[in-house]
Amino acid sequence: MSNKVIAVVIDGLRYDKASEALGYIQHLVEANQAAFYKVKSELPSLSRPLYEVLLTGTKASENGITANQIVRLSKEKSLFHLTKENGLRNAAAAYYWVSELYNRAPFDFIEDRLQIDESKPIQYGSFYWEDDYPDSHLLADAESLRRKYNPDFLYIHPMGADLKGEQFGSESKEYREQVLRIGQLLAQLVPIWMKEGYHIVITSDHGMSESGNHGGTTQGEREVPLFIISSEVEPGVYEEEVPQLAIAPLVCQLLEIEPSEKMIPYTLPGLKKEKVIH
């Protein structure tokens, strides 16, 4: 296996619904090919603050991205910055807030939709701004970037589950159907990525409440899944709750680059390498 990483962040995906509805990914867990963890999201359990958490490994009280309405570039060193500094190539197919955090703010809907610029933190980007942009199109955008530019780190961020959750609530037929749909899309691409030797990390920013919102402290809003398909991680289901701040340094470990000074030290259960992420 190479040291290349694909990170999929399924916006608004609850832990329990990932357990129930991501059939192929759960098959990999049962077949002893993937590891499954529960992550407790940072607060506030909102999208833009948690994109920053996932990509920089820093808390909202430290990085200052405390609400969705804060539109500015991040002041922290992200996984995009780190890969670029280490001579690696990165790409992202994501909601436009990710571009606003790391490439340019505010987002220009014409100029910034497609970005090919190796001088920027996100070197190859395809960004969308309508919440109902189909997950199928987003995954196709991501796979196109992967095949064309061969990034060492590819960040993929579909929004469909978050949209259906906010419209209908986490216990609705519509929300579960959307999670099933993203599972079916991943079932078409994950085998390709596995065959080509990628480390694959699948998680979420936040969960969803039964009433269709998030931002608070309930289990449904904070508990999200983490799946890892990697030769560096022992397959299985792990009971120990993983802090969300541990995901960015974990990606650094899989990429075989040093994490930023602000990322927390953490030893992931099942990690084969006997060294602390720091």
**Cα end-to-end span (Å), the chain:** 23
pLDDT band, residue 249 (cuts 50/70/90): very high
Predicted confidence (pLDDT) per residue in 176-225, tens digit: 999 999 999 999 999 999 999 999 999 999 999 999 999 999 999 999 99
> Encoding tokens for residue 40?
């407790």
Helix, strand, coil share of the chain (percent; to 5): 40, 20, 45
Q: Is 109 a residue whose pLDDT tops 70? A: yes
pLDDT band, residue 2 (cuts 50/70/90): confident
pLDDT at 276: 44
Predicted confidence (pLDDT) per residue in 50-82, tens digit: 999 999 999 999 999 999 999 999 999 999 999
- Under a CB-based contact definition with an 8 Å cutoff, are residues 155 and 94 in contact? yes
CA–CA separation, 211 and 172 (whole Å): 10
* 33 backbone dihedrals φ, ψ, rounded to 5°: -120, 0
Q: Is 16 a residue whose pLDDT tops 70? A: yes
Best CA proximity match to 1, nearest among 191, 273, 195, 189? 195
| DSSP-derived secondary structure letter, 262 | T
- Give the domains, in start order, of the chain with CATH numbers: 5-255 (3.40.720.10)
CA–CA separation, 97 and 202 (whole Å): 19
pTM here is: 0.97
In angstroms, what is the C-alpha Rg of the chain?
17
Q: Is 274 a residue whose pLDDT tops 70? A: no
Q: Is 275 a residue whose pLDDT tops 60? A: no
